[in-house]
Amino acid sequence: MTTIDAYGVRAQEYAELLGTIEAMAPEDRHRIETWAGAVDGPILDAGCGPGHWTAHLAAFGYEVQGIDPVPKFIEIARRRHPGIEYDLGSFANLADGSVRSGGAGVWSGILAWYSLIHLVPREVPGALAQLHGALRPGGSLLLGFFDGPRQESFAHAVAPAQLWPAEEMAQLLEEAGFDVVDLERHADPGARPHAAIIATRR
């Protein structure tokens, strides 16, 4: 079963458990709100899941669109948050016009919150290049992921996922044409360590 299929099977369960802002860590909410407040222009929530972050940012008045490769997530997001634009799509669709508002260099900000965690290491540089190409020059990426002392896979509840040392992910971003401007780590009780990086398109 592919990762997309696995999320499709558990999409409703995921949405009930984790598909609200109230279920999110306060630190993450503050980080995303602060980042979005510094973005001047349209924002893409890439890997939006059931759409809660997209809707949260829209409630602040930001121009924001969500995309996700899991059809069931898009169905849930549209049902829960009418009036907000959600489209079926992946990183590969960002520059080919198949995302409704897509095209190269369109976005001022891209939120990729735990959107790369299921990619095997060899796929990550390509995904970062696709995100880079979708941003305007100077546009901002906020990337959230699982932090770890070394790059390795682990048994995520839905599908195998990856831990990345934050410094190693920052290096990959630099190699993809980004300038890293902020790196934060935090660990919630009983949860895996997390990291967030803000990087701008060079």
pLDDT for 163-191, tens place per residue?
Answer: 999 999 999 999 999 999 999 998 877 77
Token pair listed for 28: 């993450």
Q: pTM score, two decimals?
A: 0.93
pLDDT at 138 over 70: yes
CA distance 17 to 43: 25
- Reported as a pLDDT band with limits 50, 70 and 90, residue 99 is low
Alpha carbon distances (Å) from 23 to 13, 17, 77, 104: 13, 7, 16, 33
pLDDT at 191: 78
Map residue 2 onto helix, strand or coil: coil
pLDDT at 189: 77
Instruction: Please give the single-letter amino acid code of residue 6.
Output: A
How confident is the model over 23-45, as a mean pLDDT?
95
H or E, element range at 140: strand 135-146
Token pair listed for 115: 């959107």
Chain centroid, CA 95 distance in Å:
17
| Mean pLDDT rounded to a whole number for the chain | 92
pLDDT at 88 over 90: yes
Map residue 20 onto helix, strand or coil: coil
Tokens 């630190």 correspond to 27
- CATH number of the domain at 3-201, please? 3.40.50.150
